[in-house]
Amino acid sequence: MLTLSSISVAFAGRTILHNVDFTLAQGSFCGLIGSNGSGKTTLLRTILGLVKPDRGTVDTGGHEIGYVPQKIQLDPFMPLRARDVVALGLDGNRFGLPLPSAARRRTVDAMLTAVDATGFADRRVGDLSGGQQQRIMIAHALVRRPKLLLLDEPLANLDLRSVAEVVSLLHTLSFEQRITVLLSAHDMNPLLPVMDRIVYLANGSSVSGTVGEVVRGAVLSRLYGYHIDVIRVHGRVLVVAAGGEDGLDADIACEPVHVTQIR
């Protein structure tokens, strides 16, 4: 469904991604995990063809891609209902005759049902909660039935309950409709129950595989280039750099170490 081979990207001579390789099978659910600035957005934009890699290839099998970009700010006064935003996804960059209005309505209604948004479909989109808006943006991205869905930090700025709801919705959609999901996040913990693959970015490089293969001290130490401990506690994972004067230090020299919080 998706294969990246030796992708390297540099901006103004600075390497952002170096030799990134991974393959996702149809229907897989993959977390793209890395700290701020590790290159997650750049990688997603490369897959979308919006960033041209300096080296390497992206193969999407010619499939249409659905995309939920980062940090969408919906103006509370924008005179659009939630269902209008979903309908806009039908037009995308498609040329030619639009769908007849009855078919349009049926397609939008089916998508609103799939993301469990019928209860607020006629409300002004800017008035919805963060979790409700995220459902609508997912419906917008999926309304043309792409088989590959990319989401850039869709869990950022959501409360814990909305995070769980959005993760569960994406997992159901991926499982039932065989949609391949690649979702970026700086905290892997909410995704642990649903991820069957992980791509972990640090220092411009990546490592991919199952969570059990990737989230290990030895593997992440090689990736970061210094000693990393992976601590599992109460079903959560904490990734910590060992260093500093008193042993564990989560933020040495502002290195891009991804530290998950124990809540």
Ligand X SMILES: Nc1ncnc2c1ncn2[C@@H]1O[C@H](COP(=O)(O)OP(=O)(O)OP(=O)(O)O)[C@@H](O)[C@H]1O
User: What residue ranges bind ligand X (CB under 6 A)?
Assistant: 11-12, 16, 34, 36-42, 186
Residue 131: CB minimum distance to ligand X, A: 20
* Residue 200: CB minimum distance to ligand X, A: 12
Q: Report, in Å, the least distance between residue 199 CB and ligand X.
A: 12
Q: What share of the chain is helix, strand, coil (3-state, %, to 5)?
A: 35, 25, 40
CB-wise, 12 or 233, nearer to ligand X? 12
* For ligand X, the closer CB: 36 or 101: 36
SS3 state at 227: coil
Q: Which residue has the tokens 């997650």?
A: 40
CB contact set of 203 (below 8 Å; sequence gap of 6+): 18, 223, 224, 225, 256
CB-nearer residue toward ligand X: 173 or 198: 198
Tell me the H-state helices in the chain. 40-47, 82-91, 101-114, 130-142, 160-177, 211-214, 217-224
Residue pair 56/6 in contact by the 8 Å Cβ criterion: yes
User: Would you say 7 and 21 are in contact if contact means Cβ atoms under 8 Å apart?
Assistant: yes
In the complex, minimum distance from the CB of residue 59 to ligand X, in angstroms, rounded to a whole number: 21
Name the minimum Å distance from CB 256 to ligand X: 9
The three-state secondary structure class of 226 is: coil
Instruction: In whole angstroms, give the CA distance from residue 42 to residue 26.
Output: 22
User: 11 or 175, CB closer to ligand X?
Assistant: 11
Of 39 and 131, nearer to ligand X (C-beta) is: 39
Least spacing, CB of residue 209 vs ligand X, in Å: 20
Residue with Cβ nearer ligand X (38 or 206)? 38
Contacts of residue 188, defined as CB under 8 A and 6 or more positions apart, other chains included, come to 31, 33, 195, 198, 211, 215, 237, 260
**What span, in angstroms and rounded, lies between the C-alpha atoms of 206 and 199?**
7
